[in-house]
Amino acid sequence: MTNYLLVHGAWHGGWCWKRTARLLRAAGHDVFTPSLTGLGEREHLLTANTGLDTHIQDLLGVLEYEDLRDVVLVGHSYGGMVIAGAAEKAAERLVHLGYLDAFVPGDGQSLTDFLPPEILEGLHEMARQEGDGYKLPFSPTDNFGVNNEDDLAWIRPRLNSHPLKTMLDTVRLTNPKAAEIPRTYVYCNNPGGDMFGQFAVRLSSDKTWQYRELATGHDAMITEPQQLAGLLLEVGDRTDP
């Protein structure tokens, strides 16, 4: 049995893993899908002080209070920032890191280091105009790679504002034990050509990483849960003693 801890991305909540988590549990594994502070059913906790460290502490709390070890920790999109920070502080509890179409920071980097200047300015403007200076409302024109109308009807009412501070905060990565954790990058390549392509190019040729691709859009846990679960089960099998 493998413990899977699945971390959602910006504007989402733990709910988005429902389909994939069901498949992993059916295979006999324990699966945890927390909503980060200020998101999902914890939307009411969002404040101007909700930052990256807040979300890292969310994961550390799950690891400690659920007494989890031998964990496959998976981060989607913005969640890559969060799992990198959590691994830094809880490396001894983890056996694998999975980055699903996610940001992969280096020491001292923030998510905004990977954004073009015009997108970064757009986020600041959105927060000023529509989010009381600290919230980022989701764009109604962004479907996160989800094209099925039934799926869109399910996810749209559940997307909520994301704290801007989490994207501006830097993460410190200096723990050599964390750097030794095996890791996999999964690039969602349909349509590709997005901001995560930069990681695909770099990590596909990095021998210290496992690299995989899924022919689907950004929210693979919704659009291709069967394929994603199968890939995660393969990762779990590789970590068995």
Catalytic positions: 77
CA separation for the pair 79, 82 (Å, rounded): 5
Q: What's the Cα-to-Cα distance from 115 to each of 14, 120, 187, 198, rounded to whole Å?
A: 25, 6, 17, 11
Residue 87 phi/psi, 5° resolution?
-60, -35
Which residue(s) pair with 97 in the sheet?
73, 183
Look at residues 168, 101, 183 and name the one whose alpha carbon lies nearest to residue 134. 168
Look at residues 72, 59, 76, 77 and name the one whose alpha carbon lies nearest to residue 30. 72
Residue 33 phi/psi, 5° resolution?
-130, 70
In the DSSP assignment, the letter for residue 3 is E
CA separation for the pair 218, 11 (Å, rounded): 13
| Amino acid identity for residue 238 in this structure | R
| Amino acid identity for residue 185 in this structure | Y
Contacts of residue 187, defined as CB under 8 A and 6 or more positions apart, other chains included, come to 101, 196, 197, 199, 200, 204, 211, 212, 213, 214
Look at residues 7, 99, 119, 97 and name the one whose alpha carbon lies nearest to residue 52. 7
Question: In a 3-state reduction of DSSP, which class is residue 125?
Answer: helix
